[in-house]
Amino acid sequence: MTDKRISFLGPAGTYSEQAAQIWCEECDLVSVDSIPDVAKAVNDGLTDIGIVPIENSIEGGVTFTLDLLIHDSDLSICGEIVIPINHNLMSKTEIDFSEIQTVYSHPQSLGQCRQFLTTNLPNANLVASLSNSAAVEEMMKSPMNSAAISSDQAAKIYGAKILKKNVEDRPNNETRFIVLGKNDHPKTGNDKTSLCFEFQGDQPGILSESLTEFASRDINLVKIESRPNKKSLGRYVFLVDIEGHRTDEKVANSIESLSSKVAMIKVLGSYPKFI
Q: Residue 21's pLDDT band (boundaries 50, 70, 90)?
A: very high
Tell me the C-alpha to C-alpha distance, in Å, between residue 188 and each of 27, 115, 220, 241, 273: 23, 41, 17, 17, 9
Nearest to 217 by CA among 200, 183, 193: 193
Q: Is residue 251 part of a domain?
A: yes
Query: How far is the C-alpha of 39 from the C-alpha of 68, rounded, in Å?
Result: 9
Same-domain pairing of 57 and 177: yes
Burial of 42 per CB tally in 10 Å (0-12, 13-18, 19+): buried
What is the average pLDDT across 137-157? 94
Query: How far is the C-alpha of 185 from the C-alpha of 190, rounded, in Å?
Result: 11
Q: What value does the mean pLDDT of the chain take?
A: 94
Same-domain pairing of 78 and 13: yes
- Residues classed as catalytic: 175, 177
Q: Is residue 14 part of a domain?
A: yes
Nearest to 220 by CA among 273, 257, 166, 260: 273
Last residue of a domain, one of 146, 181, 216: 181
> Which domain CATH number covers 96?
3.40.190.10
Sheet containing strand 161-165, strands side by side: 125-128, 102-105, 146-150, 88-91, 161-165
Lowest average pLDDT, out of 56-70, 80-94, 196-210, 228-242, goes to 196-210
Last residue of a domain, one of 181, 213, 232: 181
Query: How far is the C-alpha of 21 from the C-alpha of 27, rounded, in Å?
Result: 8
- pLDDT, residue 1, reads 44
Same-domain pairing of 177 and 67: yes
What is the domain extent for residue 235? 191-272
Note whether 222 and 192 are within 8 A (CB): yes
Radius of gyration of the chain from Cα atoms? 20
pLDDT tens digits along 173-192: 899 999 999 999 999 999 99
